[in-house]
Chain A
Amino acid sequence: MSRKIGDVILDLQNISLRFGGVKALTDISFNVREHEVRAIIGPNGAGKSSMLNVINGVYHPQDGKILFRGQERKKMEPHMAAVQGISRTFQNIALFKGMSVLDNIMTGRTLKMKSNLLMQALWIGPARNEEIEHRRKVEEVIDFLEIQHIRKTPVGRLPYGLQKRVDLGRALAMEPQILLLDEPMAGMNVEEKQDMCRFILDVNDQFGTTIVLIEHDMGVVMDISDRVVVLDYGKKIGDGMPDDVRSNPEVIKAYLGVGH
């Protein structure tokens, strides 16, 4: 692969997150480099989703610093993360079930639209040109994910695997710099998983998008990620190349099960 992994784009330093007395994350540090595929793994309740939510600004850690492109990030609203170029997909698909695939992906473009509501409603002047431009971007995403045949189908009528793909499509429509994927392969069959893996790698390869993903399927994680961070009970217990992580005794104990 000719893809070059660049400098650190996101640096998390000594992050701790508490909900009342519950410690979700304790003193976690790791970084994400530009253009890499970074996986977060760990058993149930290890704090993986919390970690993602910290990255995109839904939760605010009590301690620790987040550096994004070298700048320390202030406490902010989630939509600011989106403005900065961080988009995500959800573990439980959060699409608009009654809307078509096309419209759902179009919602991913909302932040990029400049004309006001009235102009959009009347579809005049710049609003019109703008929509045509956005539609073209959306069509590129549809083409990329090979979902042309369901363009006009309401999302609620689609099988699960395709809904996941639409979810990814909406995140991609934002043209993100960092893409957060929360269990993109959960509940899929082998074939759907293979498809999804290929799309994730293609996104990474073709657009150079940095990807942070949470995944349970160890085979998938080991195959597609450049570096893996392992959490257990809110603590970091491993970090490194997939092979190093796989042979780390603590990780084996916590995650792959005792008795190896």
Chain B
Amino acid sequence: MPKQANFAAVDGLHTFPRLLFHHAQVRPNAPAMREKYLGIWQTWSWLDVAERVRALACGLAALGFKRGDNLAIIGDNRPHLYMMMTAAQCLGGVPVPLYQDAVANEMLFVLQDAGIRFALVEDQEQVDKLLEIQEQVGTLEHILYDDPRGMRHYTQTFLHDVHELMEMGRVHDRNHPDFLIAEVEQGHYDDVSVMLYTSGTTGKPKGVCQTHAAFIAAAQGGIAVDKMTADGDILSYLPMAWVGDHLFSFAQALVAGFTINCPESGETVMSDLREIGPTYYFAPPRVFESLLTSVMIRMEDAGQFKQKMFHHFMVVAKRCGASILDGKSVSTADRFQYWLGNLLIYGPLRNVLGMSRIRVAYTAGAAIGPELFSFYRSIGINLKQLYGQTETCAYVCLQPDGQVKPDTVGAPAPGVEIKIADNGEVLVKGPMLLKGYYKRPDATAESINADGYFMTGDAGFLDEDGHLKIIDRAKDVGKLVNGAMYAPNYIENKLKFFQHIKEAVCFGADRDMVCAFINIDIGAVGNWAERRGIAYSGYTDLVAKPQVCELIQQCVEEVNAALANDAMVADSQIHRFLVLHKELDPDDDELTRTRKVRRNFVAEKYKVLVDALYAGKTNQYIETEVKFEDGRRGKVAADLKIVDAKTFPIAKKAA
């Protein structure tokens, strides 16, 4: 087991309960939580929150909750659910948040594995799920619920309204006034503060045990990098079981003392965002993408004058917006233009997006297109990327202000050490590492090497500024014949950022060059073809058009030009490619249900094509069987053209 860095704060604020009671003392009336209820934002001050946490903790104790017990938390982001986390920690228990949209059977494993005795759930829906599997979770003794709606006819004595629990706790507190303080003082920074389950895409989910010290260290580091203060606001709308939400809405909020805001419901997030105007915001790339699309669609409907103005100032923003945000030098003329644009376009636009007050916005979880990323930065929204995983409190790399590059995930965060293994795998070490997987010493030993580094399973490298660039999952990374690193996902993602390319499959492991299959996006390319008056009858026909081939060739060559500038992957330029005659489809087992390419299967199925690519042929006939949605089978045949793409001389050789 890794030795935890001694990160105990000198002032004794080294557990979350202590932090909470500290805030209740130094800023009793400042808002700690907000929740929209009956259409009006309700505010709880730090004092209110501390009082409720105290009542909840005492209530739990009265029900028999003991040090070391695990408490499941299931529901949307609600103040009482966040408070309950701290309440459990007060007593030396461990909160275990679960994904609220999981069905009962998916929850079963986690509940059994964690030996849950107590569960706090949001509403009747979640209560019903637990009742459904209650028999199989032998340890489950008490179910608490936040929202009493629909619960009137439940007569089971082990069901408790959380408000009744608080009343119980208040009585307990009056009878034993010193009880809670004594419990809190027993808390140690090396105690497990939370258990977050990994999604378990490979095998069973594993409970990641994180200590108070780890999450406090991660929170402090992030706060220092982004200079966050107590007067901030965050909209807490991502699942509480996700490590990111636990870091931003729980750990950082308690360390920095800013306000968390719980939206009214899942559907109202966008309007709540506008009302709250958070200073700190997190969203996965697809949210930023859909926001941009909605803006663009509405712009299309605007009047001529407005459209002209919009496009003019977007060009200005593209030219100098990001530089101004980064504090780089920009000519006075551009500065004036940007100032004007800010007045007329960017400011109002940020307001519509609910991002007027944003100081820092983060995205992570998937690759974000550089254009999309730059758009937000150019209109003055400080959008940045971060990198981390559940095992590292989502805290490994952060993009520091002024050094934001769209294709890296930033510099190692304060206190984090990064090492790249010989196979390209990213290894990390620091105070934020997991204490271990729950009841899985074997898995813990597997994931942490002898030197105490956690093996992330991601492949990447550090660029010349020391920023980490993630390229692929380590197991997918191979080598070309000449020994250069080859990361298929990295190249495929670059291709997929073009709107015309929907899917790409690259080949190159143990070969002398990289070749690719391309799937076009029938919507985007079809539209493109219509505007040029190219008639086509369907996917296969469209693909066969020479103009389409040229279009894709341009995209591939642009990617090659970009790759040539990047020493680590310059050898992976795409030499030859072809556009597949059918779309890759989960029904034909070519993609997984989550639409990830099954690379080996595709290589096997289209062996003829792969061979043709490497044999230097200029075209290849292929006939493929396809399954239609109604279960019928048919054949698609085509004579595919194989194109040689231009490659570029390598800018500078890897060291």
Measuring CB to CB, which residues of chain A are less than 8 angstroms from any residue of chain B? Answer: 1-2, 135-136, 139-140, 142-143, 146, 148-149, 151-152, 202, 205-206
Contacts and interface: CB of A to CB of B under 8 A. Distances in A.
A258 to B, nearest CB: 36
B625 to A, nearest CB: 35
Interface string B31-69: 000000011100000000000000000000000000000
B442 interface: no
A227 to B, nearest CB: 21
A202 B39 contact: no
B632 interface: no
A42 B153 CA distance: 34
Given A139-B38, A142-B39, A143-B38, A148 B150 contact: no
B19 to A, nearest CB: 32
17 contacts: A2-B153, A135-B39, A136-B38, A139-B39, A140-B38, A142-B38, A143-B38, A148-B39, A148-B265, A148-B267, A148-B268, A149-B264, A149-B265, A149-B267, A151-B39, A202-B150, A206-B149
Interface in B241-295: 264-265, 267-268, 271
A2 B153 CA distance: 7
Interface in B81-105: none
Contacts of A140: 38
Contacts of B150: 202, 206
Contacts of A135: 39
Nearest to A143: B38
A140 B38 CA distance: 6
Ranked nearest first, the 6 interchain pairs of A and B with the lowest CB-CB distance are: A149-B267, A139-B38, A139-B39, A149-B268, A148-B264, A148-B268
A47 to B, nearest CB: 36
Contacts of B38: 136, 139-140, 142-143
Contacts of B264: 148-149
Contacts of B152: 2, 205-206
B366 to A, nearest CB: 26
Interface secondary structure of B, over-half rule: loop
Nearest to A150: B267
Given A140-B38, A148-B265, A148-B267, 10 more contacts: A139-B40, A143-B38, A146-B265, A148-B264, A149-B265, A149-B267, A202-B150, A205-B152, A205-B153, A206-B150
Interface residues of B, number: 12
A69 B536 CA distance: 73
Given A1-B153, A2-B153, A202-B150, A149 B271 contact: yes
Nearest to A202: B150
A146 B265 CA distance: 9
Interface string B311-346: 000000000000000000000000000000000000
B35 to A, nearest CB: 12
Interface secondary structure of A, over-half rule: helix
A96 B302 CA distance: 27
A198 to B, nearest CB: 10
Contacts of B149: 206
B154 to A, nearest CB: 11
Nearest to A138: B39
Nearest to B265: A148
Contacts of B40: 139
A54 to B, nearest CB: 34
Nearest to A142: B39
A149 B38 CA distance: 12
Contacts of A152: 271
Interface in B5-39: 38-39
A145 B191 CA distance: 43
Contacts of A143: 38
Interface in B120-167: 149-150, 152-153
B283 to A, nearest CB: 18
Nearest to A198: B150
Nearest to A153: B271
Nearest to B269: A149
Contacts of B271: 149, 152
Interface string B521-541: 000000000000000000000
A152 B39 CA distance: 11
A183 to B, nearest CB: 26
A52 to B, nearest CB: 29
Contacts of A202: 150
Nearest to B38: A139
Contacts of A2: 152-153
A143 B153 CA distance: 20
A102 B150 CA distance: 24
Contacts of A142: 38-39
A219 to B, nearest CB: 22
A244 B571 CA distance: 80
Nearest to B39: A139
Contacts of A151: 39
A136 B149 CA distance: 17
A1 B268 CA distance: 33
A151 B40 CA distance: 12
Contacts of B265: 146, 148-149
A152 B271 CA distance: 10
A206 B150 CA distance: 8
A198 B265 CA distance: 19
Interface in B395-454: none
A151 B271 CA distance: 10
Contacts of A205: 152-153
A186 B264 CA distance: 30
Nearest to B266: A149
B152 to A, nearest CB: 8
